[in-house]
């Protein structure tokens, strides 16, 4: 006589069946749902006590979320190179800065409307990425990392030296409010900038995920895992690397435009090698090569970077003895330490953690472990 009770195995089986049936649907529509929710954020005055000081629709909160979103998108664009194609670039900030500075300079020097300016800046930065990428990709691995670093350094020098009084030197270049559409100026209109940042993230996620799912994405992964085999199969690894490099550069440039609009100007901080290093930290913390990990890593990093500065100057930390309060007031100290620990103990980053909770199979962790000597810059004999 059978009972109505369900054995654990049956339950697990049913759970699995449910998952097999609904997971693809959830996976497909969850991002859209999250996007809709995020787009609706400005319409609530919900308070999230620890995370934000003010209600969600306060301009300050929206501004912070928007900055986090831009860095999330930027980190995902960086991962198109790093996690998905296996290129360790230290110069991604250059294209971000090219988009940002391009916008600021063109707004100051021409009378073109913002949208023309943004388009020209993005196209210009993309061409720059194509030219520099085609040179830098003659090298591989560590040498590639150093060449991109050197190129980015030129950008940093150019921005701070102020050639022809274009870039404003160390002070940077602030945007003239009269040159911008009214909808983007003033505290009241922060919400529009927020939507702009959200649109940027959606665009990056759309492009990167479309590439992931397309045949080209599989070639990129193959280039990452074994480029000689790709070569033997008759596809050019160089071309696919360049493709990833240029698309990532173009996305970063769009991010630069949005960021400059968001903070109201361009400054040499955009070009700093620290920014690229931070991108690397974001991606690794989030989980390189995973679908949403890099985005999450970027958002969390930017948020922590911002909030830890506030925590560092708060009463609680100030009251600690000097040995502790000093380092704790430096966000980069905490983030750098967390990053080192993550490389040792959570090689898959946030996405790896989430997957570890769900079950075995760490994509990001395997990714990092698999990078052995092949990444070194020597030419194969």
Partner 1 sequence: MSTFILLLLTGLGLAGLYYLVASGLSLVFGLADVLNFAHGLFLSVGAYATWWAATNLPGAGSEGLGFVLAVVFGVVAGAVIASIVELVLIRPLYRRTIAQVLVTVGLSLAGVALLQAIWGADPRPFPRPAWASRVTMIGGAAVPNSSLLLAVSAAMVLAGLLAFLRFTRVGLVIRAGVEDRSMVTALGIDVRKAFTLVFAIGGAAAALAGILAGVQFSVVSPGQGTSLLIFGFIVVVIGGMGSVTGTAWAAAAVGLLQQFVNYYASGLGDICVVALLAVVLLVRPQGLAGVAGGAHA
Rounded least distance, CB 49 to partner 1, Å = 28
Residue (125 or 281) nearer to partner 1, CB? 281
Which residue in this structure is represented by tokens 């210009």? 124
CA nearest 162: which of 152, 153, 174, 173?
A: 173
Question: Which of 13, 17, 218, 369: binder of partner 1 (CB under 8 A)?
Answer: 369
Asked if residue 102 lies in contact with residue 125, where contact means CB atoms within 8 angstroms, the answer is yes
Does 149 interact with partner 1 (rule: CB under 8 A)?
yes
d(CA 94, CA 88) in angstroms, rounded, equals: 14
Does 254 interact with partner 1 (rule: CB under 8 A)?
no
Question: Which of 244, 281, 296, 362: binder of partner 1 (CB under 8 A)?
Answer: 281
Stretch that binds partner 1, among 16-24, 35-43, 190-198, 324-332 (CB under 8 A): 324-332
d(CA 24, CA 26) in angstroms, rounded, equals: 5
Question: Which of 335, 350, 351, 362: binder of partner 1 (CB under 8 A)?
Answer: 335
Question: Which of 74, 75, 88, 196: binder of partner 1 (CB under 8 A)?
Answer: 88
Residue (215 or 322) nearer to partner 1, CB? 322
| Sign of the alpha-carbon torsion through 263, 306, 93, 81 | negative
Does 350 interact with partner 1 (rule: CB under 8 A)?
no
Tokens for 299, please give them.
């958002």
Does 128 interact with partner 1 (rule: CB under 8 A)?
no
Asked if residue 266 lies in contact with residue 260, where contact means CB atoms within 8 angstroms, the answer is yes
Does 377 interact with partner 1 (rule: CB under 8 A)?
yes
d(CA 215, CA 191) in angstroms, rounded, equals: 38
Does 229 interact with partner 1 (rule: CB under 8 A)?
no
d(CA 161, CA 183) in angstroms, rounded, equals: 33
Residue (117 or 300) nearer to partner 1, CB? 300
* Strand extents, DSSP E, 12-158: none
Q: State the binding string over 160-179 for partner 1 (x if CB under 8 A, else -).
A: -x-x----------------
The DSSP line for 154-197 is: HHHHHHHH-GGG-S-GGG-EEPPGGGS-GGGSSGGGHHHHHHHH
Does 309 interact with partner 1 (rule: CB under 8 A)?
no
Does 304 interact with partner 1 (rule: CB under 8 A)?
no
CA 238 to chain centroid, in Å, comes to 24
Q: Give the interface with partner 1 as residue ranges (CB under 8 A).
A: 88, 135, 138-139, 141-143, 145-147, 149-151, 153-154, 157-158, 161, 163, 273-274, 277-278, 280-281, 284, 326-327, 329-333, 335-337, 339-340, 343-344, 347, 368-369, 371-373, 375-381
């Amino acid at each position: 006589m059978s009972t109505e009770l369900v054995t654990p195995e049956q339950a697990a089986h049913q759970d699995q069946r449910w998952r097999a049936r609904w997971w693809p649907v959830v996976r497909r529509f969850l991002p859209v749902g999250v996007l809709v929710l995020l787009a609706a954020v400005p319409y609530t005055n919900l308070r999230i006590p620890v995370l934000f000081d003010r209600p969600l629709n306060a301009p300050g909160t929206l501004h912070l979320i928007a900055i986090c979103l831009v860095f999330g998108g930027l980190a995902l664009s960086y991962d198109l190179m790093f996690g998905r194609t296996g290129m360790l670039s230290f110069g991604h900030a250059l294209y971000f800065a090219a988009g940002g500075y391009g916008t600021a300079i063109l707004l100051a020097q021409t009378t073109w409307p913002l949208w023309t300016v943004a388009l020209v800046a993005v196209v210009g930065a993309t061409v720059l990425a194509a030219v520099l990428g085609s040179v830098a990709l003659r090298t591989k691995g560590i040498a590639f990392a150093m060449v991109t670093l050197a190129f980015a350094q030129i950008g940093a020098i150019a921005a701070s030296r102020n050639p022809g009084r274009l870039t404003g030197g160390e002070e940077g270049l602030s945007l003239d409010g009269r040159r911008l559409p009214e909808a983007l100026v003033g505290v009241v209109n922060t919400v529009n900038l927020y939507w702009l940042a959200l649109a940027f993230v959606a665009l990056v996620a759309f492009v990167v995920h479309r590439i992931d799912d397309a045949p080209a994405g599989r070639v990129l992964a193959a280039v990452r895992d074994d480029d000689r085999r790709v070569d033997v199969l008759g596809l050019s690894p160089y071309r696919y690397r360049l493709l990833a490099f240029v698309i990532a550069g173009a996305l970063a440039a769009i991010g630069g435009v949005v960021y400059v609009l968001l903070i109201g100007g361009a400054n040499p901080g955009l070009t700093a090698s620290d920014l690229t290093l931070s991108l690397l930290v974001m991606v690794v913390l989030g989980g390189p090569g995973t679908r949403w990990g890099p985005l999450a890593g970027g958002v969390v990093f930017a948020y922590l970077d911002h909030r830890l500065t506030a925590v560092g100057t708060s009463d609680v930390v100030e009251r600690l003895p000097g040995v502790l309060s000093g380092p704790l007031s430096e966000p980069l100290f905490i983030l750098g330490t967390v990053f080192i620990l993550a490389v040792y103990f959570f090689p898959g980053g946030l996405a790896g953690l989430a997957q570890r909770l769900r079950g075995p199979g760490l994509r990001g962790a395997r990714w990092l472990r698999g990078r052995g000597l092949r990444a070194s810059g020597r030419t194969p004999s």
